[in-house]
Amino acid sequence: MTCIVNKNEGSNRIPGLDGIRAIAILMVLCAHFISGSNSNWLIKLLAKNGGFGVEIFFVLSGFLITILILREEEKNDGFSIRIFYLRRALRILPPLTIFLVFLSLLNFVGGIKITGLDISACLFFLRNYFGQSQETEHIWTLSIEEQYYLLFPILITLIKSNRIRLTFLVVMVLLLSPWKQYCYSFPEMNWRRTDLRFEPLIIGSAFAISRQAVFPKVLTNQFFSSAWAVFLSLFVIAASFAASKSNLVGIQSLRTTATYVSIGLIVNAVSSGKVWLVSPILATNPIIWLGQISYSLYIWQQLFSPFDNRTNLSWYTFSPQNIFLAFIFGAVSFYLIENPANAFKAKLFGSKSRTGQ
């Protein structure tokens, strides 16, 4: 999911953020591959709340893409939308295109049923509005990210002051929160609609602007870079989950916003690489590797997921071979498609990023 997308351009990454990606993709995999009847309470909890992994990806995407833009502005005394869009296309399209070609071949031989509308909706990043196939349903998250990547750079070019940019983003969050609450009264609402899904990305961008340009001394101080900030945020997230069934007016919108802000605080703290206990765990090699392949793994895992409403449960959707196949295809995509594409991108634009973007 770019962050559903993991934009690897060089070796100067922030390992802790790869660790956050790893946690997010694990939650998605638990939701897609593990039965809710599993007896392990932790696995059951992860499987039930796998959608939370997507929200983590969204906040992280907004944070990282904004850090990348701000650093480019600082380095080059300006920001090129054209180069930004080219970089995104080279990062996102190669793995996605190969995946869609593979699905088309499976459709041709009768392995799955997929339509031209499904393929087009994925390629034009409109899968949150159009398409029916189960195998491409997960591309709605990537569509949300790309829609944000299309619009956010325009905001950056129109507004030059980081303080005004931050103010604009905060106002957007304050407006979106009651708007979401209003939409909750319509059960048939398309909850993958752009305006209902931009909030975590906006909050991620707001944290990046605050950390990088507006309040750097605050968000990099001892508290906000500590385990206390992480544990306090986790407590808020747990309270938010506990309030998920509450009927109090406005509580559903408030709790989701509080969750996104808490994720932003965790991302900010982990970015320092100095969080007691947390940073060393997130920086272990297996966790980093999982975070690095998270985009390709997310793209491919859907094909092997044993959803109840699938019309064609084939051998590759059954356990345990489905999870092995998901990792194999994800890893192959990472090493043979993502890495060469990223190397070409780095050579073309001559840049590497500490963010992994």
Taking the C-alpha atoms of residue 319 and residue 322, their distance in angstroms, rounded to an integer, is 5
DSSP 308: T
Work out the pLDDT band at 60, boundaries 50, 70, 90.
very high
Above 60 in pLDDT, residue 232?
A: yes
Residue by residue, DSSP assigns 26-87 as: HHHHHHHHS-TT-S-HHHHHHHHTTHHHHHHHHHHHHHHHHHHHHHHHHHHTS--HHHHHHH
**pLDDT at residue number 337:** 96
Structure tokens at 222: 């001892």
- Domain range annotation of the chain: 15-349
- Out of 159-173, 193-207, 238-252, 317-331, least confident range: 238-252
Rounded to whole angstroms, the Cα distance separating 279 from 219 reads: 17
* Total-model pTM: 0.90
CB proximity list for 289: less than 8 A, separation 6 or greater: none
Task: Pick 47 or 311 by higher pLDDT.
Answer: 47
pLDDT value of position 9: 39
Between CA 207 and CA 219 the distance in angstroms is 9
In which band, very low, low, confident or very high, does the pLDDT at 308 lie, cut at 50, 70 and 90? Answer: low
- Give the model confidence (pLDDT) of 158-169 as tens digits: 999 999 999 999
- pLDDT at residue number 13: 62
User: Which DSSP state fits 109?
Assistant: T
Average pLDDT of the residues of the chain: 86
In 3-state terms, the chain is what percent helix, strand and coil (to 5)?
Answer: 70, 0, 30
Most confident range (mean pLDDT) of 209-218, 301-310, 347-356 is 209-218
- The percentage of residues in the chain with a pLDDT greater than 70, rounded to a whole number, is 87
40 pLDDT band, cuts 50/70/90, is low
Q: What is the pLDDT of residue 1?
A: 54
Question: Average pLDDT, stretch 316-325?
Answer: 87
Asked if residues 69 and 84 have their Cβ atoms less than 8 Å apart, the reply is yes
| pLDDT of 36 over the 60 cut | no
Residue 311 has pLDDT above 70, yes or no: no
Q: For residues 135 and 187, is the Cβ–Cβ distance under 8 A?
A: no
User: Cα separation of 219 and 166, whole Å?
Assistant: 14
Q: Is 38 left (phi over 0), alpha (psi -120 to 50) or beta?
A: beta
Helix (H, G, I), strand (E, B) or coil at 335: helix
Residue 6 has pLDDT above 70, yes or no: no
pLDDT (tens digit per residue) in 81-93? 999 999 999 999 9
> Could you tell me the CA-to-CA distances from 72 to 67, 125, 151, 239, 272 in Å, in that order?
9, 25, 18, 38, 20
Q: Assess contact for 128 and 143: CB atoms under 8 A.
A: yes
CA torsion, ordered 12, 18, 19, 22, to nearest 10 deg: -160
pLDDT at residue 234 tops 90: yes
Q: Tell me the C-alpha distance between 356 and 6, whole Å.
A: 7
Q: Which residues contact 315 (CB under 8 A, 6 or more apart)?
A: 321
pLDDT tens string 237-296: 988 888 777 777 677 788 889 999 999 999 999 988 777 778 888 888 999 999 999 999
Residue 326 reports pLDDT greater than 70: yes
